[in-house]
Amino acid sequence: MIWIAVMLVVLTLAAALAVLLLENLLAAVAAASVVSLGVAVMFVILQAPDVAMTEAVVGAGLSGLILALALRRLGQATLDIDANEAEHDA
Amino acid sequence: MRNIATLLLLGGLSFLLLVITGGLLFGNPPMLIGQGIQQAAPTEVGAANIVTAVVLGYRGLDTLGELSILFAAATAGGLVLGSTRGRSGRPGGFILRTGVDLLFPLMLVAGLYVVMHGHLTPGGGFQGGVILAAAFFLPLLARPQESLDHTWLSVIEALAGSAFIALGLAALFEGRAFLTPLFDHGVLGALVSSGSLPLLYLAVGLKVGAELASLLVRLSADDEGAS
Amino acid sequence: MTDVTLAVVLPLLGAFLLPLTAHRGLHWLGMLLGPALLALAALLLFATWTAFESPYAIALGGFAPPLGITFYVDLLGLLFALAVPLTSLLLWPGGSDEAAIRQQSLTLLLAAALTGMALSGDLFNLYVFYELAAVASYGLAASSATGPAFVAAFRFLLISALGSVVTLLGIALIYFKTGTLNLAHLATLSERLADPQGLAAFAMLLIGFGVKAELFPVNAWVPEVYAATGKRVAALLAGLASKLAVLAVVRILLLVFPHDEARQLLLLLGTLGVLSGELAAWQARDVTRMLAWSSIGQLGVVLVAFSLPGKAGLIAGVTVAMHHLVVKSALFLLADRWGGAVDRLKGAATASPLGAALFVLFALSLLGLPPLPGFWSKYLVLSGLAEAGSGMQHLALGVILLGTVIEGGYLLRIITRLYAAPERDIVPPAHRFPNLFASGLLALLLVAGAILIDPLWQGLNTLAASATDTQVYVQTVLGGKGITR
């Protein structure tokens, strides 16, 4: 069990560092979701399934989605649909 | 220079927190309320999931507050983003469309399950509501031109929020305090048990789902008008 | 049916239902709903006030304290709670388009949250209501939908979010050390918090709640937000929201941290607030920024007053807070069309003589001219400081006197401009009628306060006597059956 926890901590910290260092903002958002996912699994290990569920759903899912949509709105990133559109236009 | 200043601030802050928390005795905090609730909850509330007993029973008013905070944030977001403009854009690729068609019913079921079993298993209105919102938003990614009906979302949202308050007021009109759980406890662990808590969670789930769905729709709407 | 819980719940219900009135020709209902519910809440609280005999507690959800959340109803809480629906009604934003409806929803949410803060007897519940008030304020700050308003609201959001995180840490620290969140239960365990960690927790709470109370280190958002938003919003935030945040701090100070160090900390930050606010107001060239900085100074005085121990401190604090609520709201309303540089105000008195006269009245009361209530409020603070008598308090006394002198300087600067001859026939616009009407009502209230000084003094005495008695609070909520280990 302790090794799973150690691996999780390393993974989470690495993802958190990646958020700071990544140049591509969309990739940084994805990395932030990974941080939340790692934390969620840690909550499960600590026997707090309710908190883990909230963290997974809100931290890893929803906030990533909202950040990505905000990036698209600001013109800092394109989602799949826009990329497709560009292909069609080309 | 600015980065160094930020790092110094963060370092100082974490040092301060370490000093403050360093003197605490971890492992044996005096959990007066925690133990009191653990002893009283099964008989007082009748929810198999004690977290739900706390969230909707002992701290029901806080939950109403959280619900209102989310509503305030969504309203403020709407104020900043302005009214929705038209949606446009061509449908997504084949993989996205097929994946969404496959995922939509599954996510719907999962969301409803999490909402309805909140008083028995981990999860509840907030988590299930977010899953529901995501389920209804996914088809929009695949087929941007088919918009969700905004009016219906706001009607669901308003009625679900009012239903939560109405359940609280019903207890008040019976002469008990606001948000007192209604009905019998039923059998611990049965689907229909712990009084009105499942109804409260249904209201929470619908409100959170409708609110977040309309927020996502608003965020994904085109900013520059028709493209 | 005079359960005070309704005063919190009804505005919430109204806020949830209001967006529905945007559709299908229900505009008339939307126009009525908010004011009607606020009036109902005010009526309910007033009925409770008149029928009040002794403090009582409401166990929400029927769960006996300390396990469940409690509302505590006493005169202090009722006074501040009553101020909430009345002030929001006075500053109600009209209109029936989509943006106006959103703004009204947020105003109702703010009113519900602030009423909840006045009545709540639970530390975490206090935090939830505070957070609701904060989120509603971000929306209101951005509601004028201009570039500067968005920037100001965003800065407000950042500072306030940081404050919220710090508060949450403070609450976690308190919960870790005591194992409870109920204020009455915490009062019985307060000696567990009489150490450096407890003081740190109090400082954290102070920083968090201080964001809205315009406390010294965390008030940088104030001038920007007030200058950029509508003046009704500014009046609501400066006049009303700040007072309820102060009340939360006072409740925590009285019940959970009855230690001298905590009072000293509050006194220090309040004194610094007076000094920095008044000096910055002196520097300001813009009318609304000047009023904003001056509001920081005034709230510093409020915090200094509440840091005085015992009944005298509470009476002084309540008086200064209520006086500032009336005067600052009115001044912001009157400054609605006087934005921009002070020099552009020349000749404003010829355009709206009544508005200028009211402005002078409120400014004089703020300064503390004898027959007006402002004099009594300042007198109470100063005499309390003089009696309390340690070095720190004497320093605060000096700073407040200095602040009053500076205040006189900049307020006179505005007043002389108001009555100066207009330049090149450019006269500032006259006041809108609703604003003039609202500030007229507040002026009547102020004058009534000056005339009814005797009954007010009696009332304040009974209010303060019961509010400072921790024993009554604990007995009422717990009935002598707290859990200890």
Judge: C58–B154 Cβ closer than 8 Å, yes or no: no
Model's pTM, two decimal places? Answer: 0.91
**Is residue A87's pLDDT more than 60?**
no
Phi and psi of C182, rounded to 5°? -70, 130
**What residues of B are in contact with residue A72 (Cβ under 8 Å)?**
220
C269: Cβ–Cβ under 8 A, 6 or more apart, which residues? C206, C210, C215, C216, C217, C300, C303
Taking CA–CA distances from B92, the nearest residue in chain A reads A81
Q: Comparing C134 with B43, which gets the higher pLDDT? A: C134
Q: Is B198 helix (H, G, I), strand (E, B) or coil?
A: helix
**Whether B90 and A81 lie within 8 Å, measured CB to CB:** yes
- Please state, as a whole number, how many other Cβ atoms lie within 10 Å of the Cβ of residue C251: 22
Q: A73 and B219 in contact by Cβ < 8 A?
A: yes
β-pair partners for C72 = C57
Q: What is the pLDDT of residue C66?
A: 84
Distance CA C469, CA C310 (A): 9
B223 vs A contacts (CB less than 8 Å): 73
Q: Tell me if residue C258 falls in helix, strand or coil.
A: coil
- Chain A interface mutation, best of B50, B70, B90, highest count of A Cβ atoms under 10 Å: B90
> What distance in Å separates residue B15's CA from the closest CA in chain C?
13
User: Which residues on chain B are in Cβ contact (under 8 Å) with C135?
Assistant: 69, 72-73, 76
Q: State whether C98 and B57 contact (CB < 8 Å).
A: no
- The amino acid at residue B213 is A
- Which residues, including other chains, have CB under 8 Å from residue C393's CB and lie 6 or more apart? C267, C308, C385, C386
Q: Residues C175, C260: contact at Cβ < 8 Å?
A: no
Q: What is the pLDDT of residue C40?
A: 92
Instruction: Please give the residue of chain B at the shortest CA–CA distance from C129.
Output: B65
* C-alpha distance from residue C436 to each of A18, B116, C374, C440 (Å): 57, 53, 21, 6
Is C39 among the domain residues? no
How many independent structural domains does chain B possess? 1
Range of the domain at B63: 45-72+93-220
C93 reaches B (C-beta below 8 A):
no
Q: Are C47 and C2 in contact (CB under 8 A)?
A: yes
**Is B34 contained in some domain?**
no
What is the DSSP secondary structure assignment for residue B191, as one 8-state letter? Answer: S
Please indicate whether, in this complex, the C-beta atoms of C20 and B155 are within 8 angstroms of each other. yes
pLDDT given at position B224: 43
Q: Nearest Cα to C290, choosing from C325, C317, C328? A: C328
B172 in C contact zone (CB under 8 Å): yes
A86 has a chain B CB within 8 A of its CB: no
Residue B181 lies in a domain: yes
Q: Which residue do the tokens 């004099």 mark?
A: C375
Residue B12, chain C, CB below 8 Å: the answer is no
Nearest to B76 among C58, C142, C197 (CB): C142
Categorize the per-residue pLDDT at B220 as very low, low, confident or very high, splitting at 50, 70 and 90. confident
Q: Provide the residue count of chain B.
A: 227
Residue of B nearest to A47 (CA): B122
Give the model's pLDDT for residue C1: 47
Q: Is B171 within the bounds of a domain?
A: yes
Written as six digits, the tokens of B96 are 């996205």
Distance in angstroms (rounded) separating the CA atoms of residues A83 and C476:
65
- Sign of the four-CA dihedral C140, C144, C145, C147: negative
Backbone angles phi, psi at C306, to 5 degrees: -70, -20
- pLDDT for B49: 83
CA angle C303, C307, C313 (to 5 degrees): 100
Token digits of residue C184: 């009455």
Q: Establish if C313 belongs to a structural domain.
A: yes
Would the CB atoms of A80 and B137 count as touching at under 8 Å?
no
CB C327 within 8 A of CB C365: yes
Q: How far is residue C267's CA from residue C319's CA, in Å, rounded to a whole number?
A: 17
How many CB atoms sit inside 10 A of residue C375's CB? Answer: 17
Contact call for A50 and B49, based on CB within 8 A = yes
User: Is B17 in contact with C169 (Cβ distance < 8 A)?
Assistant: yes
Number of Cβ within a 10 Å radius of residue C44: 21
The tally of domains found in chain C comes to 1
C69 touching B, CB under 8 A? Answer: yes
Distance CA C113, CA B69 (A): 10
Q: CB of C485 within 8 Å of any CB in chain B?
A: yes
pLDDT score at C485: 46
Nearest-Cα residue of chain B relative to residue A67: B219
Place of tokens 């110094």: B8
* Cβ–Cβ contact C124 with B under 8 A: yes
| CA-to-CA separations, C264 to C173, C206, C268, C464, in angstroms, rounded | 21, 13, 6, 21
Contact yes or no for C179 and B34 at CB 8 A: yes
143-162 in B: which are within 8 Å (CB) of A?
144
pLDDT in the model for residue C284: 85
Question: Can you name the residues that pair with B128 across neighbouring β-strands?
Answer: none
Are residues A62 and B93, on separate chains, in Cβ contact within 8 Å? no
Contact A57 B137 (CB under 8 A): no
B130 contact residues in A (CB cutoff 8 A): 57-58, 61-62
Q: A82: which chain B residues are within 8 Å (Cβ-Cβ)? A: 89
Determine whether the interchain pair C63/B44 forms a contact, defined as Cβ–Cβ distance below 8 Å: yes
Q: Which residues of A touch B212 (CB under 8 A)?
A: 62
The answer to whether C140 and C236 have CB atoms below 8 angstroms apart is yes
Among the listed residues C226, C380, C385, C222, the one whose alpha carbon sits nearest the alpha carbon of residue C299: C222
Q: Confidence class of residue A8 from pLDDT cuts 50, 70 and 90?
A: very high
In the three-class reduction of DSSP (H, G, I as helix; E, B as strand; rest coil), residue C24 is classed as: coil
- Within a 10 A sphere around the Cβ of B85, how many other Cβ atoms? 14
Tell me the CA distances in angstroms from C157 to C137, C299, C439, C470, one per residue in order. Answer: 9, 21, 29, 35
User: What tokens does C343 get?
Assistant: 């020099």
Beta strand C56-59 pairing with C70-73: antiparallel
Helix axes of C310-334 and C75-90: crossing angle, nearest 10 degrees? 0
CA distance B195 to B174: 15
CB B104 within 8 A of CB B135: yes
What's the rounded Cα separation, in Å, for the pair B165 and C204?
33
What are A12-45's pLDDT values in tens digits?
999 999 998 888 888 999 999 999 999 999 999 9
Q: Which pLDDT tens digit goes with each residue over B116-172?
A: 888 888 888 889 999 999 888 888 878 777 766 777 888 888 899 999 999 888 888
Contacts of residue C372, Cβ cutoff 8 Å, sequence gap at least 6: C361, C364, C365, C446, C450
Determine the residue type at B95.
Answer: I
User: Is B in contact with C (3 or more beta carbon pairs below 8 Å)?
Assistant: yes
Q: In B, which residues are within 8 Å of C57 by CB distance?
A: none
Is residue B186 within 8 angstroms of chain A, CB to CB?
Answer: no
What is the helix (H) or strand (E) element at residue A32, kind and residue range?
Answer: helix A25-45
Nearest to B130 among A50, A58, A69 (CB): A58
Beta-carbon pairs below 8 A across chains A and B: 56
Across the interface, whether the CB atoms of A66 and B215 are under 8 A apart is answered yes
The helix, strand and coil proportions of chain A, stated in percent and rounded to the nearest 5, come to: 85, 0, 15
In order of B125, C32, C33, the CA distances from C39 in angstroms are 33, 11, 10
Q: Is C137 inside a domain boundary?
A: no
DSSP letters of B97-131? HHHHHHHHHHHHHHHHHHHHTTTTSS--HHHHHHH
Question: B50, B127, B212, B215: which to substitute to probe chain A, counting the most A Cβ within 10 Å?
Answer: B127
Is the bond preceding residue C66 a cis peptide, omega within 30 degrees? yes
- Cα B172 from Cα B168, distance rounded (Å): 7
Residues 6+ apart with CB under 8 A from C26: C20
Question: Chain B partners of C145 at a C-beta cutoff of 8 Å?
Answer: 79-80, 82
Cross-chain residue pair C132–B157, CB shorter than 8 Å: no
Q: For chain C, how are helix, strand and coil distributed in percent, rounded to 5?
A: 75, 5, 20
Is the preceding peptide bond at C309 cis, omega within 30 degrees of 0? no
Which residues on B lie below 8 Å from A62 (Cβ)? 130, 133-134, 212
A touches C, CB cut-off 8 Å, minimum 3 pairs = no
The confidence score (pLDDT) of residue A46 equals: 87
Q: Which residue of C has its CA nearest to B72?
A: C136
Which residues of chain C fall short of a pLDDT of 70? 1-2, 24, 339, 424-427, 480-485
pLDDT digits (tens, 9 = 90+) for B172-211: 888 888 888 888 777 777 777 777 888 889 999 999 999 8
The answer to whether B27 faces chain C, any CB pair under 8 Å, is no
Q: Do B32 and C179 touch (CB under 8 A)?
A: yes
Contact at CB, C9 and B162, closer than 8 angstroms: no
Of A50, A80, A82, the CB nearest to B51: A50
Backbone φ and ψ of C57, nearest 5°:
-120, 145
**Secondary structure class of C229 (helix, strand, coil):** coil
Contacts of C99 (CB under 8 A, 6+ apart): B79, C143, C145
State how far the Cα of B167 lies from the Cα of B183, in Å rounded to an integer. Answer: 11
CB contact under 8 A, B92 and A80: yes
Query: Domain range holding C322?
Result: 280-451
- Check residues B28 and C91 and name the one with the higher pLDDT: C91
Q: Report how far residue C435's alpha carbon sits from residue C447's, in angstroms, rounded to the nearest whole number.
A: 18
Average pLDDT along chain B? 82
* CA atoms within 13 A of residue B70's CA, in its CB half-sphere: 24
Minimal CA separation from B19 to chain C, in Å = 9
Average pLDDT over residues A67-78: 79
Task: Report CA-CA distances (Å) from C234 to B4, B49, C91, C226, C330.
Answer: 36, 45, 10, 5, 11
